[in-house]
Chains A and B, each alone.
Chain A
Amino acid sequence: MSSILSVQNLNKSFGNKHVLHDVSFDIEKGHIVGLVGPNGAGKSTIMKTMLGLFNFQSGTIKVDGQTVTPMKHEALSKVGALVEHPGIYPFLTGWDHLQLFADGDHQLIHIQKIISQLNMDSYIKRKTKGYSLGMKQKLGIALALVNFPELVILDEPMNGLDPESIKDLRDLIISETQQGATFLISSHILSELQRLAQDLLIIDQGRIVETTTMHDLLASQGKQTIMLMTNDDKRARDVLKKARFKMTADPRIEVVATDDSTMPRVLKTLVQANIDILDVSRLEGNLESSLLEVLKQNRIQQKLAMERAE
């Protein structure tokens, strides 16, 4: 069995507000998994429930085969986490925090390594009262990693970090996975995870709407658009429309490419119509729009299902 985390049919309500609906997923050991969805989708709630912070109505949560509930935390010895805002005592230094939460004293070298990897040396011995948002965020990440966790759960870890720190964090995460750690990282911005996550869980309105890989998602968005500039755009549009190419609503000339042959066929058509082509470019559908597309499709399907049920 190679899954480090297994969540099955998890349902969670706050009062009569049903927030998680039958959430099920598995995380493979050694992978970096992105949990992606808009604000309020339930990302933090899933993470908090997995960490035994919330009671839940039904379902099971297993870390390395061991069940976790609000009253049963033994399995969490393998887990390190940062959920929502880092919890920081203003009257302690960063170093105090790391020492406080480190199990055993033999970890000084490891603590030192994390500090320097995140570039925290200059302020780690200062009281956290004076830390900036980004400094606190980094300390929170360091705390999540301090006990050599097998599974690391990070909730929107890039929040408040400058580009340089984001790079440091990315490098740190990759170096930890090379040593065998598994990561579950949430974000409402997919591109933050683009160079990091292998597997993706897409969540919306408390439901996992798609379980995929970053590779497949990037490939599936293959709906590229070809953009053209000609000496007579109006006539070009008419010609292409007549030739039954799929056009976008844009007043410029944008053709939706259905396969690799679209581009040569478009060019040939225009040349035959005696239109001069001034410029051709391909628009890569970007990552955010493909996420939005997945979410939109899911909402449409849900609406249809509801109408059918009525």
Chain B
Amino acid sequence: MWTLVKQELFKLTRKTSTWVSSFILIGIQFLFAILSRIYPTTFIPANMFESLYFARPFITFYMIAATATIITMEFQYGTMKQVLYRRYSRGQILVSKWLAILVYSLYWYVISTGVTLLLRALLFRHSLSIHQNAGYGDTVFTRGLAISAASFVALWIILSLVFLLANVFSNSVAAVSVGIIGYFGTFIVTQLLTMLIQKWDWAKWNPLTMMLYPSMMARPGYYQTLLNMQSWQMLLGSVVYIAIFLSLGYNVFCRRNM
């Protein structure tokens, strides 16, 4: 299994997009850090720090595309046969792709967190302390970590859905579109969602609510009452949805004609 994960990672490192995007990500973070330094009232330094200088939306987009293509490129290049007709089972092939994407998403979170800490030290040494109080008993630093952890979980809800769609359609356009709509859709329908939840409590258990997990970590007091949920419930729900989407995708992948 480790051999297969290594092979997937090898392919990822040989793609130019991995390196180009890493530079773009760092560029975006620098840009927002500088903006925050120049216009601290619009781009509040503490909030910008917690949001990893706008790295998370970029990572989400990039990972949606990377997840769709790790499956669909094999169909596009006709390499799926070659990957499959070895001694490894189909299940092992798919799981190795999950693990490669897991490692890849961790790579992005580590890079962006590292750059964030570096930028704070470079540009906000005197104006922002990471130990500064951020409310609800958190410091700026621990709040940032909590949001990162929650957004990592939310990212994986989307990615598990993208894995499912890529296996169904073998086409990255469909998978990427639904992934991005899922990500943005949540913010658009939040209001509708909260109305539904106020009327029927069980409606909170839908997957779109789980996408608000990072928002809840950013403003715990506000979202807990709005959604009538605790963060452990969010985590539990998220994990259940990830498991459901991944296992559906697994079944599709194992049954289809290649």
Contacts and interface: CB of A to CB of B under 8 A. Distances in A.
Interface of A: 14, 48, 51-55, 70-77, 79, 81, 83-92, 96, 100-101, 103, 143
B14 interface: yes
Closest 10 CB pairs of A and B: A87-B79, A77-B87, A51-B85, A87-B82, A87-B78, A53-B258, A54-B257, A76-B87, A73-B89, A85-B78
B85 A79 contact: yes
B257 A55 contact: yes
B90 interface: yes
A92 B87 CA distance: 23
B174 interface: no
Interface string B32-76: 000000000000000000000000000000000000000001100
Nearest to B93: A73
Contacts of A70: 90, 254
Given A48-B81, A74-B87, A53 B257 contact: yes
A102 to B, nearest CB: 10
Given A71-B89, A72-B89, A77-B86, A53 B16 contact: no
B255 interface: yes
B16 A101 contact: no
B81 A76 contact: no
Contact of A71 (B15, B73, B74, B254): B254
Contacts of B73: 89
B82 A101 contact: yes
Nearest to B78: A87
Given A53-B85, A54-B258, 18 more contacts: A48-B258, A51-B81, A51-B85, A53-B257, A71-B254, A76-B86, A79-B85, A84-B81, A85-B78, A86-B82, A88-B77, A88-B78, A91-B11, A91-B16, A92-B14, A96-B10, A100-B10, A101-B86
Interface-centre pick from A73, A76, A77, A101 (highest chain B CB count, 10 A): A73
B81 A83 contact: yes
Contacts of A96: 10, 14
15 contacts: A48-B81, A73-B86, A74-B87, A75-B87, A76-B85, A76-B87, A77-B87, A86-B82, A87-B78, A87-B79, A87-B82, A89-B14, A100-B7, A101-B82, A103-B3
Contacts of A48: 81, 258
Interface in B161-202: none
B14 A52 contact: no
B248 interface: no
B80 interface: yes
B88 interface: yes
Nearest to A85: B78
Nearest to A90: B77
Interface of B: 3, 7, 10-11, 14-16, 73-74, 77-91, 254-255, 257-258
A100 B83 CA distance: 10
Contacts of B84: 51-53, 73
Contacts of A14: 257
Contacts of B79: 87-89
Most buried by B among A52, A79, A87: A87
Contacts of A73: 84-90
Contacts of A75: 87
B77 A52 contact: no
A81 B85 contact: yes
A101 B7 CA distance: 8
A86 B10 CA distance: 20
B102 to A, nearest CB: 20
Contact of A91 (B7, B15, B88, B254): B15
Nearest to B256: A55
Nearest to A55: B257
Nearest to B254: A71
B204 to A, nearest CB: 38
A100 B3 CA distance: 10
B167 to A, nearest CB: 15
A76 B85 CA distance: 7
B144 to A, nearest CB: 35
B85 A52 contact: yes
A264 to B, nearest CB: 57
Contacts of B86: 73, 76-77, 101
A71 B16 CA distance: 34
Contacts of B254: 70-71
Nearest to B85: A51
A88 B80 CA distance: 10
Contacts of B78: 84-88
A65 B86 CA distance: 17
